[in-house]
Amino acid sequence: MLSVFVTGATGIPMTRIVSSVGLVSCILLFAGAVFAYPAAAQEAAKTPEKNITHFKDWAVVCPEPDSKEASDCEAILRVTVTETGQQVLRVSIFKVPDAEHPVGVFILPLGFLLQQGVLLSVDGKEVGRLPVQRCEPAGCLAPLIINDDVQSFFKAGKSAELKLVNAQGQAVALPMSLSGFTAALTALDKP
């Protein structure tokens, strides 16, 4: 058994004990989504076959326009450097069959210290620390079960921030807009 998430400073339980098989299944399911949609927002104009619905800063991406399964879709947020368009953060939230809550995976940039994990805060209030599960060429993966408490924070908040420490020991903050989060999450429930 692995402890995947930790309790935040707010006292909100974010600890989940899952079996190795469950965690691996969840990450493998997500890995398929990551590589299937590496730049969904940019591809929207180029690929009319994908069903992309925008909700302010968030989007819901489905692999096929006629997909009726909510589990086929994901809510995404991409944070890019304005000048270069380089992605520095991607958030993907998706439903896992038979799971009580959606799963979120934060794809973080390479080149930061993994041991400290990532500090998540909403509107300046610390929510918890996310462990980094592994790194791939596309970035490092930090999963989070989007339980009722996390949903409440995200729905009530205006912005979130992920703080990590780079290889030089400096704290780096990655901003994350929550504008459109509630509508995107709701859209995942609709077939």
pLDDT, greater one: 46 or 96? 96
Q: Which of 189, 146, 184, 186 is nearest to 52 (CA)?
A: 184
Q: What is the pLDDT of residue 189?
A: 84
pLDDT per position as a tens digit, 170-180: 999 999 999 99
Q: What is the pLDDT of residue 20?
A: 31
d(CA 23, CA 17): 10
pLDDT, greater one: 4 or 102? 102
SS3 89: strand
Task: Give the residue-averaged pLDDT of 34-47.
Answer: 38
d(CA 93, CA 143): 10
Q: What is the pLDDT of residue 50?
A: 74
Least confident of 71-75, 96-100, 153-157, 170-174: 71-75
Confidence of residue 63 (pLDDT cuts 50, 70, 90): confident
Beta strands in the chain (DSSP E): 2-3, 17-18, 51-55, 58-62, 74-80, 87-94, 103-108, 118-122, 125-130, 134-136, 139-145, 159-165, 171-177
Q: What percent of the chain has pLDDT over 90?
A: 65
Task: Give the residue-averaged pLDDT of 4-33.
Answer: 36
d(CA 20, CA 105): 17
Q: Which of 34, 168, 162, 176 is nearest to 112 (CA)?
A: 168
For domain 2-188, the CATH class is mainly beta
Least confident of 16-25, 26-35, 61-70, 148-157: 16-25
* Per-domain residue ranges of the chain: 2-188
Alpha carbon separation from 79 to 1, 10, 22, 90, 99 (Å, rounded): 33, 26, 29, 6, 27
d(CA 91, CA 176): 9
Least confident of 35-39, 55-59, 97-101: 35-39
Q: What is the pLDDT of residue 69?
A: 60
